[in-house]
């Protein structure tokens, strides 16, 4: 059991490093199309100064990260509602994202947790609206 946990920990550390090496992609300008993947991903959103403001993951859905980022742009996420005061369009002003496709739901959850701990983003989605 210890060896399995150790292997899993090493894999998540490897994935975190890989996520951090992904290119920064700009959010599209107004009326521009988002080119994010349809896969299930872990992602990092950075402000115009490259500071990490949010770390997230996709949970389900056939449109993967593309749908999640479109939700952010439309102001339909706790991140945008609390951190950007509901103004998802602000993401179009110099914000970027990095993403890594992770098909396994457990690995995705662990990677998101690891990336949150590593980056200490300005916004933490605590799910308080669901209590």
pLDDT in tens, 84-128: 999 999 999 999 999 999 999 999 999 999 999 999 988 876 554
Give the length of the chain.
Answer: 131
pTM: 0.90
Q: Which residue, chain included where needed, has tokens 């396994």?
A: 104
* CA torsion through residues 33, 39, 45, 49, sign: negative
- Per-residue confidence band for 129, with pLDDT thresholds at 50, 70 and 90: very low
Taking the C-alpha atoms of residue 100 and residue 15, their distance in angstroms, rounded to an integer, is 8
Domain regions of the chain by residue span: 2-130
| CATH fold label, 2-130 | GIY-YIG endonuclease (3.40.1440)
Distances (CA, A) of 40 to 58, 98, 105, 114: 5, 13, 8, 17
pLDDT in tens, 38-52: 999 999 999 999 999
């Amino acid at each position: 059991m210890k060896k399995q946990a150790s292997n899993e920990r090493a894999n998540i550390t490897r994935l975190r490093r890989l996520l951090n090496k992904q290119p920064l992609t700009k959010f599209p300008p107004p009326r521009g199309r988002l080119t994010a993947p349809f896969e299930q991903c872990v992602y990092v959103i950075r402000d115009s100064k490259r500071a990490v403001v949010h770390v997230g993951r996709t949970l389900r859905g056939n449109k993967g990260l593309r749908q999640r980022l479109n939700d952010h742009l439309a102001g339909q996420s706790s991140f945008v509602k609390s951190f950007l005061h509901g103004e998802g369009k602000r993401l179009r002003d110099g914000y970027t994202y990095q993403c890594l496709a992770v098909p396994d739901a457990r690995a995705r959850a662990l990677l998101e947790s690891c990336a949150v701990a590593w980056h200490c983003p300005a916004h933490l989605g605590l799910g308080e609206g669901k209590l």
